[in-house]
């Protein structure tokens, strides 16, 4: 099992390497370009960090779109126009809200939470709205990871829009180059594409409702979870540790992002919580080596963000560690760090993470087994079309990427069930059977994808028998 997980991690790392490198380059170019133009501005640190986060988010968004079977929801040129118009406009609003965060932290974070929750909720209206919501959320995510001291640095809000334009430009160019390289690579090799992003792709982040009992759309439930997490984190942080309120809010957001079902929430939530805490400890201890205002701290910050961007393809816990670690170094750069506040930061991270896990688990939860059932049923439907469809029809060729996407969506759900099967030695029946179903469905999907491009009557008969066997397992699982 451990060797299999190691091989899977290497495959993930290789599959996301192009975009990881592109995101680091886009972040560096954005940082130095913004630093050059705003070198005489007192808020240059805020502008650079905001630009870095936006550039990283743009490349990450392009990575998700490159892996979508149905293609991007918007033509490339429309997406680029939307980026250059929407993100700078939102950045203006984000700059204004940043001033509110400095003056009234709880109110400011509440204002930041509104558009982030709305970005999740609008996914129910389709992929175009999901794409637009993702775009307008980037500047507000940047505001979450910018300390209040940097937000108070003065200068006009128009600089925020300029920094956003620069970051969008570099992020779009590097994302397009990485996407083109990935498309060329897919001609000669099968490539795994990660699906765990802070914002989540429309397909992955909005799983279909698995049972007829729940009428609330999955995107609406996710929006409710995020809204409750923000509200509880802001109230508890304001009451308990007002000077560290940002740590409560950021951790609640990071832990709550892109989860798929209750089991996935707990599994990833614990990973991200541990990652966030570890990143904070390491960065805080590292920050003691730098004096306030020492530019070497910013270099270390970029190293941490770069490592997080590369290792993010293995686990989002690495990105959680990079986000909180980068924030800790930024506080040290601004003279607000040190080991004396480490305990309070860790407490804020722990409580913020537990709030996010509790909200997702106990308020309108999504059963992970239900999500597995629905996604497996979707794969079986595509499999029937692949085995019985007209190979001469124009739409038949489109089954290969659809099968690839359906298989990837099932494999996204595997880690928590594999971990539970390993920890319990397979003694928990439903978890063991669900993990086994995921493994068989993944192998079936890969075989069907190959069958669409390389037809064989004998292979078709084998896949038909396996499809019926997986259907029987699925029916049996419904009785659990």
3-state SS track over the chain: CHHHHHHHHHHHHHHCHHHHHHHHHHHHHHHHHHHHHCCCCCCHHHHHHHHHHHHHHHHHHHHHHHCCCCCCCCCHHHHHHHHHHHHHHHHHHHHHHHHHHHHCHHHHHHHHHHHHHHHHHHHHHCHHHHHHHHHHHHHHHHHHCCCHHHHCCCCCCHHHHHHHHHHHHHHHHHHHHHHHHHHHHHCCCCCCCCCCCCCCCHHHHCCCCCCCCCCCCHHHHHHHHHHHHHHHHHHHHHHHCHHHHHHHHHHHHHHHCCCCCHHHHHHHHHHHHHHHHHHHHHHHHHHCCCCCCCHHHHHHHHHHHHHHHHHCCCCHHHHHHHHHHHHHHHHHHCCCCCHHHHHHHHHHHHHHHHHHHHHHHHCCCCCHHHHHHHHHHHHHHHHHHHHHCCCCCHHHHHHHHHHHHHHHHHHCCHHHHHHHHHHCCCCCHHHHHHHHHHHHHHHHHHHHHHHHHCCCHHHHHHHHHHHHHHHHHHHHHHCC
Q: What's the angle, vertex CA 433, arms to CA 432 and CA 437, rounded to 5?
A: 120
Confidence of residue 229 (pLDDT cuts 50, 70, 90): very high
Mean pLDDT of all residues in the chain?
78
Residue 380: its pLDDT value, please? Answer: 92
Write the pLDDT tens digit of every residue in 262-293: 777 788 788 878 888 888 888 888 888 888 87
What number is the average pLDDT over the span 352-363? Answer: 88
Regarding pTM above 0.85, the answer is no
Helix axes 414-423, 368-388, angle to 10 degrees: 120
State the pLDDT confidence band at 189, using cuts at 50, 70 and 90: very low
Confidence check: pLDDT of 194 > 50: no
pLDDT at 458 over 50: yes
For 391, other C-beta atoms within 10 Å of its C-beta total 10
The pLDDT value recorded for residue 202 is: 38
User: Are residues 212 and 222 in contact, defined by beta-carbon separation less than 8 angstroms?
Assistant: no
Task: Look at residue 350 and tell me whether its pLDDT is greater than 70.
Answer: yes
What the block records as the tokens of 130 is 């999901």
Task: Specify whether the CB–CB gap between 55 and 26 falls below 8 A.
Answer: yes
Among residues 309, 452, 433, 300, the alpha carbon closest in space to that of 382 is found at 452
């Amino acid at each position: 099992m451990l060797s299999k997980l190691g091989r899977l991690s290497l495959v993930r790392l290789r599959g996301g390497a192009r975009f990881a490198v592109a995101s680091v380059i886009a972040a560096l170019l954005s940082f130095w370009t913004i630093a050059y133009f705003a070198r005489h501005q007192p808020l240059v640190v805020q502008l650079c960090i905001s630009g870095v986060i936006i550039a990283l988010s743009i490349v990450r968004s392009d990575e998700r779109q490159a892996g979508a079977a149905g293609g991007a929801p918007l033509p490339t040129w429309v997406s680029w126009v939307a980026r250059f118009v929407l993100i700078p406009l939102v950045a203006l609003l984000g700059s204004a809200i940043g001033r509110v965060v400095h003056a009234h932290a709880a109110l400011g974070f509440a204002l930041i939470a509104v558009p982030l929750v709305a970005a999740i909720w609008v996914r129910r209206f389709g992929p175009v709205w999901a794409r637009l919501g993702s775009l307008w959320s980037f500047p507000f995510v940047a505001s979450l990871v910018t300390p209040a001291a940097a937000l108070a640095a003065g200068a006009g809000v128009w600089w925020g829009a300029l920094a956003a334009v620069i970051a969008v430009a570099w992020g779009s160019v590097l994302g397009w180059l990485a996407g083109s390289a990935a498309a060329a690579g897919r001609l000669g090799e099968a490539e795994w594409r990660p699906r765990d992003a802070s914002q989540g792709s429309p397909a992955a982040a909005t799983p279909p409702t698995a049972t007829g009992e729940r009428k609330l759309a999955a995107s609406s439930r996710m929006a409710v979870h995020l809204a409750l997490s923000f509200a509880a984190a802001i109230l508890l942080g304001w009451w308990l540790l007002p000077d560290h309120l940002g740590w409560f809010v950021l951790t609640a957001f990071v832990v709550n992002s892109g989860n798929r079902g209750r089991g996935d929430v707990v599994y990833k939530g614990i990973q991200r919580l541990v990652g966030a805490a570890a990143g904070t400890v390491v960065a805080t201890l590292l920050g003691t080596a730098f004096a306030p205002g020492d530019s070497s701290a910013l270099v270390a910050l970029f190293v941490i963000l770069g490592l997080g961007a590369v290792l993010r393809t293995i686990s989002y816990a690495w990105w959680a560690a990079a986000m909180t670690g980068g924030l800790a170094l930024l506080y040290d750069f601004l003279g607000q760090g040190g080991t004396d506040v480490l305990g309070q930061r860790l407490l804020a991270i722990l409580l913020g993470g537990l709030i996010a896990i509790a909200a997702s688990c106990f308020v309108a939860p999504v059963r992970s087994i239900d999500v597995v059932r629905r996604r497996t049923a979707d794969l079986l439907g595509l499999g029937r079309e692949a085995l019985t469809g007209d190979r001469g029809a124009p739409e038949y060729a489109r089954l290969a990427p659809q099968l690839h996407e359906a298989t990837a969506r099932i494999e996204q759900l595997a880690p928590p069930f594999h971990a539970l099967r390993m920890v319990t030695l397979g003694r928990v029946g439903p978890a063991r059977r669900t993990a086994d179903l995921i493994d068989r469905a993944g192998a079936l999907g890969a075989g069907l994808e190959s069958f669409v491009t390389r037809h064989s009557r004998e292979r078709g008969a084998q896949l038909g028998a396996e499809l019926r066997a997986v259907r029987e397992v699925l029916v049996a699982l419904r009785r659990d």
